[in-house]
Amino acid sequence: MSARTVLFFDLDRTLWDFERNSLETLKGLFADFSLAERGGGDFDAFNAVYQRENAQCWADYRQGKMQEEVLRSERFKRALKGFGVDDLALAEKLGWQYVERGPHQKHLIPGTLEVLEALRNRGHEIHILTNGFSDVQHLKVTNTGISTWIDNLLTSEELGHLKPAQACFEAALQFTGTRKEEAWMIGDDHGADIVGGHDAGWKTVFFDPDGQSPPDSPASAQVSALQELLAVLP
């Protein structure tokens, strides 16, 4: 390897199978708290409301309109209300139970561990740069075995800035002692990972399993499966 290559991976939906893990966690909560008996429908009806409200709460969080401690229960408060249940105490319980249970789910995007091992064997430094909450993300990395192959897990909470802010990418460079010319950002969030990384002067790879890449994407490369990274990265 002629030059230093430092890889920064997003975590949720890039390595950790967020949709599958979240769905299993929600199904467990729905059953354990007997929500079918209290609300207006089955799990699919509840999940549809939750996904909508959760997305809006996260949008508010990224824009600085909502704090972490509020988001955790607010998304369930809104979901329950939309499901026909008005119970703030229950929403708070669900919020904390979701955060407690979710990180213990272990489903990874196919190829995660094999690709990380192969990239490590090439001599690359590997970090995770995520907007998730620190306590939750550290549990995910430890419980799935990802920690074996990474040097550092960097969260926006610890760095003090959210992707796509350039300050987040600059803080990651400073923490790892990396020059922007050496850095690659690999992630599924086009705005946060690809546009943000590109604007910070990094090379970027868009993980796009659903073929949603915009035609004017500034990504250095695009892949639909993690295994394709082995042909794209140095």
Mean pLDDT of 105-124: 97
pLDDT above 80: residue 2: no
Give burial (CB, 10 Å; 0-12/13-18/19+) of 212.
Answer: exposed
pLDDT above 80: residue 1: no
Mean pLDDT of 28-51: 94
pLDDT above 70: residue 109: yes
For residues 127 and 217, give the distance between their C-alpha atoms in angstroms, rounded to a whole number.
23
Mean pLDDT of 39-43: 88
- Name the token pair of 122: 């090439």
Model confidence, pTM? 0.87
pLDDT above 60: residue 75: yes
Return the pLDDT at 65. Answer: 92
Per the CB < 8 A criterion, the answer to whether 68 and 61 are in contact is yes
Average pLDDT over the chain reads 94
